[in-house]
Structure 1
Amino acid sequence: MNYKSILFEVFRSMRANLLRTTLTMIGIVIGIGAVVAIMSTADSVTATVSSELEKTGLNRIAIGRRFNGGTIRILDDSTIHFLKSLSIAGVKDYQGSISVDSQVRDYMTGEAARIYLSGATESTMDNLNLKMLVGRGVITEEENQSQAKVVLVNGTLVKKFFHSDPEAAINQIIKIAGASFKIVGVYQADPFSRNANGIVPLQTLMTQPFDSNGYSQIEAVLDPNADASSVREQLLAAMLKKGGFTDEDKANFYISNPRQELNTFKQFMLAASVVIALIAAISLVVGGVGVMNIMLVTISERTKEIGLMRSLGAKKRDIVKQFLLESVSLTIVGGVIGVGLGILVAYATISIINVFDSMPDFIFTISFPGIGISLLVSVFIGLIFGAYPATRASKLSPVEALRRE
């Protein structure tokens, strides 16, 4: 028998028992669908986080103080001058920033909430990559020099104080740490961004009521092709040299490498999605057992047919090929349907997430490696769980098979 005639017999048998075929494939469909949905959703999350981090600056390395009672000197303009004097290759500039945790209170109702403020200048506002909802997204140099009491807030605070109406928040007065600030802009909250939920002029944070003692961190702005790991090591050595610290004193400050952190996140997401997908793939084993069971039933029902094929000259390997192809065809068709189902589930999941205003727009990504692996697994499931029934069918005696009713 040639493969064309074998395939014809396979699909004829599948069509003749359509309900049985459908029920047999359910386990495969669910297993493959779950794996593809999980892998595609994980890839979508990874792509979104990568995109958001790239917008907020993978070309930056932050040097910050740890508030653990350490002896690290205050980060100030002298620190920036010292770092600039080193002329580290790959670093374009150094920028200081201040962040404080404070309390915000509605001027009219007195309702209070916590606010995490970040100081900014006109030159550093572009680096924040804010998605403005209403108002302006800049802190002018004049406001910075005059230590103006103006603030940009995110949608989370607007939701609490202004019933989710950004327009209503513009030019309103709120109290932060007891001082009155005018809202001049509202930007979209982004859980993947390192931005604070309130932004004020940098110099304002150095005055009453904040009196920030130096910078919270200093950011090294890198060239696009800079070796971030090498720059980080040089900055670490420089900070130890400046403070006169030993290696044991490294705990007093941190030097972050966003690109390395992103790679770590990608590795974590890949490992997590693989583990979860493997758990979901348990249903494939259940589906494979179902395939083997139904193939044994099919062989029992087609005993005479097998005996007739053998008596007409079909060899044992022809019988094995036919029933293996039938088994693999079941799992492949189930796998293809499962892939389609998994993509739909992943798309629906990302679409539901995108409904929420507090979340960034997730990038829907199809996991093609996940699809390829899933289809290969479906083939192996068909081969493994179809091997025993196919071998059993090939061992039937033609004479005994023809005698059976």
Structure 2
Amino acid sequence: MGVIIGVAALVAVLSLGDAMQAFVRSEIDRVTDVQSVTIEPRTFRLIDGSWEPVRNPLVLTLADLSSLKRETPSAQAAVMSRGGSARVSWPGSGKQRKATIAAVTEDIAITDRRPLADGRSFTPREALANAPVVVLSWRLAEELADGRPATSLIGQEVRVGPLPRVVIGVFAARQGERGYSARIPYAGAAATLGNSAVAGAPSIALKARSVDAVATLTSEIEDWLALRFQRWEDRIEIIVAEAELAEIARAFLIMKLFLGLLAGISMLVGGIGIMNIMLASVTERTREIGIRKAIGANVRDIRVQFLTEAVAISAVGSGLGVVLGLSIAALAVGVMHLMVDAEGLQVVISPWTLVMSATLAVIIGLVFGTYPARRASHLSPIDAIRHE
């Protein structure tokens, strides 16, 4: 029972810990941009304490984007974007608003997982062909709809700058949303934004495969820039959320230390249980030990016998504890789903957890069974046989 409870606690804690880490990582990926590394051409330079515009700033191209995708294996996606502003109007209501326009390439759905209230984002083919489509922010759609539901604009033709575009999606409302925004295919940037784009300079944002891969991705980008542009540090700025990444790494480290402490306590409880069981077994079987030594068993034979029993108890308890621990973890996740909206939280059965549990079972049996086995092997045969 001591081993079962100890291993069950260990497996439950580790499984829930893995589930929580996976959930937290997915939420970080979904609602933040800490996994993004942005490359922006420098348009201003600090000279003698004042910012001066850069002459002939570097202009990134779609060829650069394709090259970056090939040379940065740590990136799951890369997006080129160009920002600006334009008037957006809907003839159905006569309303118009000045909005921030983002012209982006097709991987935007991977790097920016902003949810849609209804509709869809544009496809890769639409992005490359400059299809006349647009995705509106909730507030902009609500203003243009003028009393109608914001999603009623889907399928309607609005004018973005000088060109008409069909609304194919509306972003979900965000708390504290200010201003108006819209998203169009990158190929339509020049015709829609004209000279209103900020400095006329496109930027490239790459998304790392995980939070831990951001540093590797940054190094790959620096290597790419060094091979492609001379003195790139003066011409290009790499933007990384360093402070946020440091805080996330610190939080994950604290979580791992906490889970390790809980696991250690759980296994200590199981180990002490084994030692007590084996000590009681030595006391109860003192006569048996004396008889075995009297008929020829040596110290090693007795020690191996009790160590084998300790390991066997640990192994059986470990197997039952794993099943019980996974059941507890599944029950705990089910309760969390009932109490909070956490669809991404799932039980994680890590092979590492199962292997570690089996290994620890053997180690616990050997460590905590050594003292009882040693005590049994050093009993005097005469005193052991006379024991009542």
Deviation at 1:325, TM superposition (A): 1.8
Deviation at 1:213, TM superposition (A): 5.6
Change (3 A) 1:138 1:89: closer
In the alignment, structure 1 residue 97 sits paired with structure 2 residue 82: yes
* Matches of 1:339 and 1:76, distance apart in 2: 65
Tell me if structure 1 keeps the 8 A contact 2:43–2:199: no
The amino acid that maps onto 2:298 is: K
Match of 1:388 in 2: 371
Gaps of 5+ in 2: 73-77, 86-98, 143-147, 155-165, 175-179, 208-215
Deviation at 1:272, TM superposition (A): 5.9
* Matches of 2:21 and 2:323, distance apart in 1: 17
The amino acid that maps onto 1:80 is: L
Match of 1:107 in 2: none
In the alignment, structure 1 residue 280 sits paired with structure 2 residue 262: yes
Change (3 A) 1:96 1:183: closer
2:276 to 284, 293, 296: 293
Deviation at 1:168, TM superposition (A): 5.7
* Matches of 1:75 and 1:282, distance apart in 2: 62
Match of 1:233 in 2: 223
The amino acid that maps onto 2:5 is: I
In the alignment, structure 1 residue 64 sits paired with structure 2 residue 48: no
The amino acid that maps onto 1:300 is: T
Match of 2:210 in 1: none
Match of 2:10 in 1: 31
Change (3 A) 1:242 1:345: same
**Superposed, which structure 2 residues align to 1:6-405 within 5 Å?**
22-23=1-2, 25-39=4-18, 41-42=20-21, 62-64=38-40, 71=51, 79-80=59-60, 90=70, 95-98=80-83, 119-121=102-104, 123=106, 132=116, 134-138=118-122, 151-153=136-138, 169-171=150-152, 185-186=169-170, 199-201=182-184, 214=200, 217-219=203-205, 229-235=219-225, 241=231, 244=234, 253-255=237-239, 274-283=256-265, 284-347=267-330, 361=344, 365-405=348-388
* Matches of 2:274 and 2:375, distance apart in 1: 15
The amino acid that maps onto 2:59 is: T
Tell me if structure 2 keeps the 8 A contact 1:38–1:346: no
Deviation at 1:25, TM superposition (A): 4.1
Deviation at 1:132, TM superposition (A): 4.7
Change (3 A) 1:332 1:392: same
* Matches of 1:117 and 1:298, distance apart in 2: 78
Deviation at 1:392, TM superposition (A): 0.5
Deviation at 1:389, TM superposition (A): 0.4
Change (3 A) 1:310 1:375: same
The amino acid that maps onto 1:218 is: I
Change (3 A) 1:295 1:348: same
Change (3 A) 1:68 1:313: farther
* Matches of 2:197 and 2:57, distance apart in 1: 16
What TM-score, normalized by structure 1, do the two folds share? 0.56
* Matches of 1:82 and 1:137, distance apart in 2: 20
Tell me if structure 1 keeps the 8 A contact 2:278–2:310: yes
* Matches of 2:204 and 2:311, distance apart in 1: 60
* Matches of 1:126 and 1:317, distance apart in 2: 67
Tell me if structure 1 keeps the 8 A contact 2:80–2:202: no
The amino acid that maps onto 2:80 is: Q
What TM-score, normalized by structure 2, do the two folds share? 0.58
* Matches of 2:60 and 2:22, distance apart in 1: 39
Tell me if structure 1 keeps the 8 A contact 2:37–2:238: no
Deviation at 1:271, TM superposition (A): 5.8
| SS across alignment from 1:376 | helix
Change (3 A) 1:83 1:385: same
* Matches of 2:375 and 2:38, distance apart in 1: 67
How large is the RMSD of aligned CA atoms in angstroms? 5.9
Deviation at 1:276, TM superposition (A): 3.5
The amino acid that maps onto 1:135 is: G
| SS across alignment from 2:59 | helix
Tell me if structure 1 keeps the 8 A contact 2:43–2:53: no
Gaps of 5+ in 1: 1-21, 101-115, 162-166, 174-181, 191-196, 222-226
* Matches of 1:241 and 1:82, distance apart in 2: 21
The amino acid that maps onto 2:6 is: G
Tell me if structure 1 keeps the 8 A contact 2:133–2:168: no
The amino acid that maps onto 1:134 is: D
Change (3 A) 1:242 1:49: same
